[in-house]
Amino acid sequence: MTTRRSILKSMTAAGALSLWDAPFRYAFASVPTERRFVMVILRGALDGLAAVPPHGDKDYASVRGQLAISNSHDIDGFFGLHPALTNVKAMVDAKEAAVFHNICSPYRDRSHFDGQNVLETGGAGPHILQDGWLNRALVPMGLADGTHALAVAQTPPLLLSGRAQATSWMPASLPAPDEDFLERLRGLYANDPHLLGALNSAIDMQRAAANAMDDPSVKPGMGGAGYGNLAPLFQGAGKLLAAADGPRVAVLDAGGWDTHFNEGAGEGQLSRRLQALDAALDALKTSLGPAWSKTAVVMATEFGRTAHPNGSGGTDHGTGGAAFLLGGAVKGGAVHAEWTGLSPSALQDGRDQPPRTDLRALFKGVLAEHMGVSSGALQSAVFPDSGSVAPLRQLIRA
Amino acid sequence: MSLEGAVAVHRFGLGARPGEIDRAGRNPRNWLLTQLDIAADQPVPLDGGSFRTGGELVVEMLQYQREQAMARRSGTGGDPVKAFFKTRVKLFTDELAARYALGFSTDRPFAERLVWFWSNHFVVSAQNPRATTLVGAFEREAIRPNITGKFEDMALAAICHPAMLLYLDNAQSVGPNSIAGTRFGKGRNENLGRELMELYTLGVDGGYTQADVIAMANILTGWSLNPAGQNNGFAFYENRHEPGDVTLRGRTYPPTLEGGIQSIRDLANDPATARHIATKLAVHFIADDPPAESVARLEKTFIQTRGDLRALAQTIVEDPAAWQSGNKMRTPVEYVTAGYRLLGLPRGDNTDKQVQGALAAARLMGQTPLAPPAPKGWPDTADAWSGPDAVLTRIEWAKRVGQSMPAGFDSGAIAESGLGPLLTPATRTVMARAASQSDALAFLISSPEFQRR
């Protein structure tokens, strides 16, 4: 694919410098791409059969029992969306959202923490790789300078941690120290690269946020993973991503999916959490403004949950589940699944949704088609040991 | 002032109270170990009342749920658990304030650090509304009495506590083939069985299968709440317990409470558990990536003493590697605690408000006290706490602390007394050149040596 960046590079190589070239080049140096990639980590193992109920499956109602959802938003006569996901449904209708089912990372045991490690490192198993796959993708995306990759968190999660630089941001609630104080502190941190790097990055991001956030509708406040309202965080991320010189990659954390107890069906605990996520996605879309059309958002979880309810009106840790790809750049409108049914023999170990698609195929496809990462970089650097996992195709509008 | 005294106070303690480095410096190892000669202190409610036991809280909770159920039937009630949580939220905030007031002021900070360590191992998170009111009782009853006892006894106390049974959903777990299971179609919940092995004993690589998770969950079926509050709120219900012997990791246990207790004791004394606990202790007290020989020494002590926690504490104190100061980043809660101890806070009136202020700051830095997002507890390594936003929030807090000090304090004296030989020339210089005493104090609290222990 020819990008404006590569055209510029060849022009420069040819010595085609002119008067207008300097500012042009400056703009490119700070903004390598117009495209935005957002990764939302759904920590805690989202119940895929609740979020994307296969209401047309003959075994669905009997397998799910009290958790069966009768009023889902239908997508294609077979799959639906949980009734709380009204904004996601609108995106599917606008062909701006695609849904994936029976999908899972290569992790096959059922520990949250190892599962999240695999989801974030992109390794074939837990603790094989030490850094996050999105961090490793920053160099081939040309976004490794520390200002173009943003974690909406106090500290970047593993997904975005590693050798390339990233920054993090949360809505401020303590008054910021004056610049002179911070300047002296930089001196004090001169021999402590760890603290110095964190401080420098934070100062840059606070400045950018102050510019982006002069909109009073952005409300600062607590909103860490697992806590109530996600919308301010997604809205803040959208505003930062929308800025011309802002980040191009963002990671958001949304926890609260570990529904062992009283999960609920069309209403209840999980429904309320999905509603919060749905509202947050709408806030992200709105705050991105025109940049939404250049955005792809992937939402994934560490694994799915058991197909059958457990003894407490909830579900236990499982294997396959659902994932989402949303955004104005997305070629959406459908559910993609190698569906094998919910009969006992179709279920993994007789209990879980089977893992028919590797999540890395989705990640690789989006990185390739949307962010221009070459297949060589995907194989060697971003997802080593994933040779047999072919990227999914036709995910992004040309 | 002795360097080892300063390390004892910062690395093993909770940060220096005025004069503490001098006291510790006379015989640092002895200062630490004598703190373990008596049981851990119990926090005292700041308003002078008394805390409820786990059993009392269970009675109250079930009573409240019944009332709410009746109200709901008559069309006036909401979600009973949620309503209970709302009306009893003060129970938790009072426990929280008392716990940290003790941490800010205790003269046995090593014992208190061990309490905090073990509460972050056997985790019951206040984030789960079913467990919120019981979090304080859990620590007071299952953790504090056992910090110098046997690991297996702490494990049993933790697993049988109503807080844990509610937090990891075991209170409702019913054997599918038990009397209650066949009659009412109720089933098992795997949550506690899995985390008991993955997080609390063997560790995720400790050698167990999904079949073992189900076996452990079966063993724990019928372990639930005592509505009369007896036995501190714990009861074993045979009619909910999955019938038949259970084989767990090659050992067979009868379907009785005693069989279940034995299975937990066996897990607690497994070599994989020794390795898991040794590693966590070494990461906490030595370095994010501790030397293999330090872990091996702890592992050996664990196995030789069958998990004697005082012997483990002594092994760490006697390990020279644990005396290399400055390579553990303080967690937010540790950081605000060290700040308060440095300044002798809380002080004067409105103690409660001062304590809550520190905890609010820790939340902004990313750590909600006693409410980790998952049963794994809070991370114990620098990378989890040193993101750009977290570091800037620490600095903002340091600045605010400096500004809120009453006039006339001497930041230089605070620095000498609080860090002593750990203070670097760079920090001395930037403090000496600061525009004000409050800025100088803010530099001290922001300094690399104060962010670490």
pLDDT digits (tens, 9 = 90+) for B165-208: 999 999 999 999 999 999 988 899 999 999 999 999 999 999 99
- The predicted complex's ipTM stands at 0.85
Query: What average pLDDT does the segment A246-259 reach?
Result: 91
CB contact under 8 A, A44 and B186: no
Strand (E) or helix (H) holding B297: helix B292-304
- Chain B nearest C-alpha distance from A135 (Å): 15
A 146-185 → B contacts, CB under 8 A: 151, 153-156, 161, 167-170, 172-177, 180-182, 184-185
CB contact under 8 A, B388 and A161: no
> Average per-residue pLDDT in chain A?
86
CB contact under 8 A, A310 and B433: no
> How far apart (Å, rounded) are the C-alpha atoms in residues B152 and B177?
29
pLDDT at A38 over 90: yes
User: Contacts of residue A349 in chain B, CB cutoff 8 Å?
Assistant: 210
CB contact under 8 A, B390 and A317: no
Angle, CA B136 vertex, CA B130 and CA B142 arms, to 5°? 100
**A254 → chain B, closest CA residue:** B373
> How far apart (Å, rounded) are the C-alpha atoms in residues A321 and A101?
6
Boundaries of every domain in chain B? 168-268, 332-451
CB contact under 8 A, A112 and B376: yes
User: Contacts of residue B188 in chain A, CB cutoff 8 Å?
Assistant: 310-311
CB contact under 8 A, A312 and B172: yes
- What share of chain A has pLDDT > 90, as a percent? 69
- Chain A nearest C-alpha distance from B92 (Å): 17
> How far apart (Å, rounded) are the C-alpha atoms in residues A150 and B154?
42
For residues A107 and A304, the answer to whether their CB atoms sit within 8 Å is: no
pLDDT at A28: 37
More confident residue, A5 or B298: B298
* pLDDT tens digits along A7-29: 223 223 333 332 233 333 333 34
More confident residue, A160 or A12: A160
Query: What average pLDDT does the segment A29-56 reach?
Result: 90
User: Contacts of residue B373 in chain A, CB cutoff 8 Å?
Assistant: 43, 224-226, 255
Is the CA virtual torsion A41, A46, A51, A56 positive or negative?
positive
Query: Hey, is the C-beta of A27 within 8 angstroms of any chain B C-beta?
Result: no
> How far apart (Å, rounded) are the C-alpha atoms in residues A143 and A147?
8
Which has the closest alpha carbon to A270: A40, A25, A52?
Answer: A52
What domains are there in chain A, each with its CATH number?
36-171+218-382 (3.40.720.10)
**B174 → chain A, closest CA residue:** A311
CB contact under 8 A, A155 and B169: no
pLDDT band at A173 (very low <50, low <70, confident <90, very high): low
User: Contacts of residue B400 in chain A, CB cutoff 8 Å?
Assistant: 174-175
pLDDT at B350: 86
Angle, CA A330 vertex, CA A325 and CA A336 arms, to 5°? 50
Which has the closest alpha carbon to B415: B6, B100, B26, B23?
Answer: B6
* pLDDT tens digits along A255-279: 889 899 889 999 988 998 999 999 9
CB contact under 8 A, A226 and B189: no
- Chain A nearest C-alpha distance from B122 (Å): 16
Which has the closest alpha carbon to B184: B166, B168, B172?
Answer: B172
Q: How many CB atoms lie within 10 A of CB A297?
A: 28
What does pLDDT average to in each consecutive run of 10 residues of chain B (453 residues)? 94 97 97 95 90 95 82 67 67 93 97 98 92 95 98 98 97 96 91 97 95 98 97 97 97 98 98 98 97 98 98 98 92 98 91 91 92 94 92 93 84 95 96 89 97 96
CB contact under 8 A, A188 and B172: no
